[in-house]
Structure 1
Amino acid sequence: MPSSVHVPRRRWWRRALVARYGARGRELARAVDAEYGALLATRPPWAEGSRALRFHVRQAILPDLAAYRVLSRERGDAAVARGVVRDLMTAQLLPVLRVVRLLDRVGVPFGRLRRVTRWLVPRAFPPAGFTIGWGKDDDAGLRFDVTSCFYLRVLRHYGAPELTGVFCYGDQVVLEQMPRSVRLTRAGTLATGAARCDFLLQPARPAGRETMAP
Structure 2
Amino acid sequence: MPAPGHVPRRRWWRRALVSRYGARGRDLARAVDAEYSVLVAARPPWGEENRALRFHVRQAILPDLAAYRVLSREHGDAAVARAEVRDLMTAQLLPVLRVVGVLDRVGVPFARMRRLTRWLVPRAFPPAGFTIGWSQDDAHGLRFDVTTCFYLRVLRHYGAPELTGVFCYGDQVVYEQMPRSVRFSRSGTLATGAGRCDFLLQPTGPAGRETMTP
Structure 1: which 4+ aligned runs deviate by more than 3 Å? 206-210
**Amino acid in structure 2 at the alignment position of 1:190:** L
Shift in Å at residue 100 of structure 1? 0.4
Partner residue, 1:212: 213
Partner residue, 2:62: 62
C-alpha spacing 1:64/1:208, structure 2 compared with 1 (3 Å): closer
Partner residue, 1:89: 89
Deviations 1:62-90 (A, max 9, x none): 00000000000111000000000000000
C-alpha spacing 1:28/1:106, structure 2 compared with 1 (3 Å): same
**Amino acid in structure 2 at the alignment position of 1:211:** M
Q: C-alpha distance in 1, partners of 2:36/2:210? A: 49
Partner residue, 2:175: 175
1:99 aligns with 2:119: no
Question: Is 2:203–2:211's contact at 8 Å kept on the other side of the alignment?
Answer: no
Question: Which runs of 5 or more structure 2 residues have no equivalent in the other structure?
Answer: none
Shift in Å at residue 43 of structure 1? 0.3
Partner residue, 1:188: 188
Shift in Å at residue 188 of structure 1? 0.6
Q: C-alpha distance in 2, partners of 1:164/1:203? A: 29
**Amino acid in structure 1 at the alignment position of 2:25:** G
Give the secondary-structure state (helix, strand or coil) at the position aligned to 2:127: coil
Question: Is 1:205–1:211's contact at 8 Å kept on the other side of the alignment?
Answer: no
Shift in Å at residue 4 of structure 1? 5.0
**Amino acid in structure 1 at the alignment position of 2:129:** G
Deviations 1:136-194 (A, max 9, x none): 11111111000000000000000000000000111111121110011111111000111
Question: Is 2:130–2:148's contact at 8 Å kept on the other side of the alignment?
Answer: yes
**Amino acid in structure 1 at the alignment position of 2:11:** R
**Amino acid in structure 2 at the alignment position of 1:55:** F
Question: Is 1:28–1:70's contact at 8 Å kept on the other side of the alignment?
Answer: yes
- Aligned-residue identity in percent: 82
Question: Which runs of 5 or more structure 1 residues have no equivalent in the other structure?
Answer: none
C-alpha spacing 1:151/1:4, structure 2 compared with 1 (3 Å): closer
CA RMSD of aligned residues (A): 1.2
Question: Is 2:75–2:81's contact at 8 Å kept on the other side of the alignment?
Answer: yes
The count of residues paired between Structure 1 and Structure 2 equals 211
After superposition, residues 68-147 of structure 1 pair within 5 angstroms as 68-147=68-147
Give the secondary-structure state (helix, strand or coil) at the position aligned to 1:159: coil
**Amino acid in structure 1 at the alignment position of 2:55:** F
**Amino acid in structure 2 at the alignment position of 1:99:** V
Q: C-alpha distance in 2, partners of 1:209/1:30? A: 48
